[in-house]
Structures are given as structure tokens and as C-alpha cells.
Amino acid sequence: MPHVIVEPCIGTKDKSCVEVCPVECIYDGGDQFYIHPDECIDCGACVPACPVSAIYPEEDVPEQWQDYIAKNRKLAGLE
């Protein structure tokens, strides 16, 4: 499953995750970054790079941020 960027990214948008992504699948979505699910290779390099702990594997997204799965897909143009 691809990784998902959730609420703590909003307003922060630190580019550490973008810089470590080996396939360049993290994009600017306006108020936050998002990961294109079709491009993500699920390597996890972005997870420890995020200073606000806003990146989770899709299956591990906390309940309060489940709507960010659809938001990431929409930002990627898949919904």
C-alpha cells in the first residue's frame, strides 16, 4: 500500500520528505504535500524524514485522519 500524508503537514510543508523520495512521487497540494499512490513504491524513506510525523502507510493511517486517504487520491487526480 502507498503512503499517505495527513493533517500535521498542513501549514508545515517541510520539504524533507520530498528530498528523500527516490521516485519523486511527493507533490505540493496547496495546503499540504501529497503522495501520488500510483507512483509510490512504498519504500518508507519519507516516514522518518517528516519532522511532524504526518506520513503513514495507508493501512496504518490513524482513525481521525482516515479522510486523508481520499484527499491524497483526489489531489493526485485519481478521484
What CATH code is carried by the domain that includes residue 37?
3.30.70.20
* pLDDT tens, position by position, 53-65: 999 999 999 999 9
* Structural domain count of the chain: 1
b (16+ CB within 10 A) / e for 55-74:
bbebeebeeebeebbebbbe
Predicted TM-score (pTM) above 0.85: yes
Rounded Cα distance between 27 and 7, Å, is 15
Residue type, 36: H
pLDDT in tens, 23-79: 999 999 999 999 999 999 999 999 999 999 999 999 999 999 999 999 999 999 997
